[in-house]
A = this chain, B = another copy of it.
Amino acid sequence: MHALMGIESDLGDWRRTHHTSQLSSSDDEVTLMGYIASIRDHGNIIFIMLADKDGEVQLVFKKHDGNERIFSLAKSLREHSSIAVKGRVKASKQAPMGIEVVPEELKVLSLAYSIPPFSVYSRTFPSIDVRLDLRAIDLRRYYMKSIFRLRHKVLKAIRGFLDTQGFMEVNTPKIISTASEGGASLFPVFYFDREAFLAQSPQLYKEQLVTAFEKVYEIAPIFRAEPSRTNRHLAEAISVDVEEAFVDYRDVMNLLESLVIHVIESLNSGAKEELQALKLSINTDRGFPRYTYTQIVDILRSNGYKIEWGDDFTNEHLQFLGDTIKGYYFIVDWPLRLRPFYTKNKDNDTSIAEAFDLMHGDLEISSGSTRINRKDILLERLKMQGLRTESFEYHLKVFDYGMPPHAGFGLGLERFLMAITGLDNIRDATFYPRDIDRLVP
């Protein structure tokens, strides 16, 4: 047992009266709670920065204030301990926020028994693995806190936009019997007495759901057993999936562009504090450039890159594109054989897909297309891609009942957050990343 353990108290009937962000010098008696961001001990006076959900305030403990017990309790504390204080707010020119709080009562709710290998103020820090091993505490760093507060506002803006556009939120099963995009990259699940898989996308379900609801979206985890160790792949990620009936890929490209613009405008008006904390200035013009796949191939060739029409782009290609084309842009009209079986070809060309990627620099953040809505064509494409049509029986059945024309896209939330924040490792765009090497915490 730690020597200090006896000084911890329960919360009891204490309740916070203010968050630190709500304090002003006109407040008198306040009850604050949070964790200790820093301590400066000057012998007879101790300054403690108390941090909570969305701010911090300086607490001042003086030895000769007539409250020796509190002073010596404060003296024994370490950074990260959770405390509660009752005290008085005082204006103070020296204090970082223009006010400070002089505690009259102090409860130590939970001691820190160790000091983590990073400060809450640091933007530079040890390796990501050291931080991820102690992720909950790493998230107390103001930089990471701002990233995830921003993430919350991105999600809220996405839902707000889709709601006003008449989309309905859906949830589709994550345990499935069949791969939606071929058999690769699936995690097997032992489902009662059967083999099942984790869904790598809600693709077939969201397509089915447009038959009744026309405009649907889902924001949910997707699972990909890709054994890659890059800074832009996760084994478990959050996908913003959108599907709409009676439109084609041009319509959903416009929708996606409006969505991105709406999110950026919402952050500029409603996340000023986070953007400032992250030293970000984000602005994007409407009218994202649209290049056809063929144009991109020509650009690459004329810059000395070797690529055949029909090849997928390599990392080297993408890097060159990212250096050449700044910001958001679409690559459209892909070779059909590079896209999944449910992708519709252009009316006048069976080798070209009505498909697009939304890029930000060298990063693909979204993929979408017009989908096939005829059973005979879908069957043909399944066979062409060497997939077992029997596995898709339950999906194909829906196409017997008037499946409307439809189109949609999937937007990778973490990648979108990378595009917005400039994070260079996707692991920091999620709370607890999963990859081939990491299953804990």
B residues near A5, Cβ cutoff 8 Å? 376
B residues near A187, Cβ cutoff 8 Å? 175, 189-191
B residues near A432, Cβ cutoff 8 Å? 172-173, 205
B441–A395 touching, CB < 8 Å? yes
A112–B11 touching, CB < 8 Å? no
Contact with B along A127-141 (1 / 0, CB 8 A): 000000111110110
How far is A267 from B134 in the complex, measured between Cα atoms in Å? Answer: 42
- 9-residue interface stretch from A211-219, A283-291, A299-307: A211-219
B residues near A171, Cβ cutoff 8 Å? 221, 238, 430-431
Q: How large is the interface on A (under 10, 10 to 19, 20 to 34, 35 or more residues)?
A: 35 or more
A325 contacts B by Cβ under 8 Å: no
B residues near A374, Cβ cutoff 8 Å? 8, 110
Contact with B along A400-433 (1 / 0, CB 8 A): 1111110000000000000000000000001110
Pairs A–B under 8 Å by Cβ, sample size 27 = A11-B246, A11-B248, A19-B166, A35-B402, A35-B404, A52-B214, A82-B404, A84-B246, A110-B374, A113-B375, A133-B397, A134-B401, A137-B398, A137-B401, A139-B209, A140-B212, A145-B212, A148-B212, A171-B238, A173-B431, A173-B432, A176-B439, A189-B189, A189-B190, A192-B436, A198-B198, A209-B431
A343: min CB distance to chain B, Å: 15
Contact with B along A106-124 (1 / 0, CB 8 A): 0001111110100000000
A113–B400 touching, CB < 8 Å? yes
A96 contacts B by Cβ under 8 Å: no
How far is A322 from B376 in the complex, measured between Cα atoms in Å? Answer: 52
A388 contacts B by Cβ under 8 Å: no
